[in-house]
Structure 1
Amino acid sequence: MYIYGFTKGSLCYIFAAAHSVGFSHCSKFSNRIYSFSRQSPVDPTLNRAYATKLQQMCPRYVDPRIAINMDPNAPRKFDNVYFKNLQQGKGLFTSDQVLFTDKRSRPLVNAWAANSQAFNNAFVTAITKLGRVDVQTGKNGNIRRRCDAFN
């Protein structure tokens, strides 16, 4: 879940940690492991061993119903391991990994990777703020049928 532009500061990044749990279909990240660029078919920000593992789990013409865990280490636990994964080049999506490769957000990734209590506290603050947002309905809102596309 990403809420870009919601507020300034760490709130935008804290919701990326939702990728600590759940799964993704291979088609949502296959470009990173097969066709990233002409110079590099595999995204160079990906950990090489992790990229190889992803290619084994998601061959080029894999059944579109196949999905893998977004967090390779603790896929059923919402925790700060997500940020440790980013430090190791194990962010499944480009939008995840950029939190570590971008110098503006890297200090937060490092802080939350090093201190689970700091991450938990930041999450509580962020989810509390989100709970205070006015829900947009009717013509002012958009309840998506698919989370990755506007209706």
Structure 2
Amino acid sequence: MYTHILVAVDGSNTSRLALAEAIKLAHKQKTQVRLIHVIDQTMSAYEARGWVGAGAALEALLKAAQEAGVKVLEEASRICREAGLDIQTAMPKTVGAGIADILLEEAGRWPADLIVLGTHGRRGIQHLMLGSVAEGVMRRAKIPVLLVRGS
């Protein structure tokens, strides 16, 4: 049924649960899995416009985000390889565009026929303040989306 599953990973427990569900689906078919971790570099754009004065601190923060993203993808890749899956990885960066936008672009470019991602299930003011990548993907995706709720 699905031949290309895009799985968003961020290192959270919810992301691990989503990966586990994607692995279950992939085992049932000859499926290729693409793991994706998006790095949001929006703060660097603010710094470039002079909104933030601590350039060296910002550079260190972006480097740390890159290193953390590599670790997240390495861990998820290891889990998939141990499960015997055919995998690819991607770590796109975004400046200004939302993470949901990047996930949808990557899904279309690859092309994925299913997107799997975790959702924290925030409500009320938390949802309003933090937004929801999962909701953004779900509302605009032209392909099926599997949302896995965190525990």
Asked which structure has the greater RCO (Cα within 8 Å, sep 6+), the reply is: 2
Q: Which structure has more strand as a fraction of its residues?
A: 2
TM range (shorter): under 0.3
